[in-house]
Amino acid sequence: MNRDLVHLPSAVRARLARLGANTAHAAAAARVPPSDELSTEQFFTFWEALGASSPPDVGLRLATETQVHEYDIASLAALHSPDLGTALAKLARYKRLCGLKDMAIDTKGKEVAIHTTYHHAPGPMPPRLVDASLASLLVLLQRGSGLALAPKRVELTRARSDEPMLMRFFGCPLRFRAERDALVLDERLLSTPFVTHNADLLQVLLPSLDQKLAPLEQGSLVEQVRAVVARRMSGERPSLAKVARELSLSTRTLQRRLGELGVSYQHVLDDVRHHTALRLLRKEDVDVNEIAFLLGFDEVNSFTRAFRAWEGTTPHRWRDSISLWRDRI
């Protein structure tokens, strides 16, 4: 259930080859097995090698030349949704069937940012994989709405490169060296109706998808919450509402689903804080006051009380005991 597997269908590799991509070289570099299932590291290696030996626009062309009948089932569910906002929510929900990754939809101010994170990412997403992912999302939204939608901007973690090519495709400003790879939309676009809406087809598709997703949700929801909390823990106490929004769930639904698994949000938050505190205390160059701040405690005394409940001692004494143990080795 929680195995590190990412799907790379042979049909996708065949389409890439037709576009001039050197899939044989990439498959050899990543040691792609006969099956469609790779580890995240293999998947990233495949795309790194593909980018180094293929035309620079290969990811963008993969998005435009993939036909609707070639869409995976999650994309079909999104395409036949009633509006753009619902389509994004369905993508975020059902893309988890394609591997251990999360598509987050962050709303801030009047903007909506969509970005994907892989649970077992060995490093940043390869640039051509980013191109293909963001371009495929935009093409799906354009096909669904029947409009030439343009993002408000595209955020990219890479250094400035391929700027004219990317601007021609996305038709919007680019922000390089960003904190994430994201497609940023005007929030007003969420209500855009889809001309491809097909309620009858959704009635057939969704029960099957929900049935396949159920075991993944039961086994990985706590992991997902832990990952979001850890990612957001940088001087603030990640709120339940923010975590729920990043997981494309309502606050009430997240509370209910965690309750069904026998845990609470506070329990998960405390557990992440506990393990993060131990990891940071092992680094002698990180001050205890700084650790308290990073974990979102209002003051160091609050952190000390929490740590005493976890370990039966204070952070300073725990660190001293670790140092003493190291000295004896």
Least confident range from 55-59, 116-120, 125-129, 181-185: namely 116-120
Q: Which of 128, 53, 98 is nearest to 212 (CA)?
A: 98
pLDDT value at residue 221: 78
Q: Which of 273, 277, 285 is nearest to 315 (CA)?
A: 277
Q: What percent of the chain has pLDDT over 70?
A: 94
Q: Is the pLDDT of residue 228 over 70?
A: yes
Q: What percent of the chain has pLDDT over 90?
A: 45
pLDDT value at residue 121: 82
Q: Is the pLDDT of residue 252 over 80?
A: yes
More confident residue, 122 or 328: 122
Residue whose entry in the numeric block shows the structure tokens 């109706």: 193
Q: Bridge-partner residues for 115, per DSSP? A: 104, 182
Q: Is the pLDDT of residue 74 over 90?
A: no
Distance CA 198, CA 35 (A): 33
Q: From the CB of residue 100, how many other CB atoms can be counted at a distance below 10 Å?
A: 23
The reported pTM is 0.67
Q: What is the mean pLDDT of residues 298-308?
A: 90
**In 3-state terms, what secondary structure has residue 199?**
helix
pLDDT value at residue 211: 82
**Distance from CA of residue 52 to its chain's centroid?**
24
Give residue-wise pLDDT tens across range 34-46.
777 888 899 999 9
Q: Is the pLDDT of residue 323 over 70?
A: no
Handedness of CA 82, 87, 88, 89 (dihedral sign): positive
More confident residue, 72 or 63: 63
- Computed over every residue of the chain, the mean pLDDT equals 87
Give residue-wise pLDDT tens across range 260-290.
777 789 988 988 888 888 888 887 778 899 9
Give residue-wise pLDDT tens across range 114-164.
998 887 788 889 999 999 999 999 999 999 999 999 999 999 999 999 999
pLDDT value at residue 279: 83
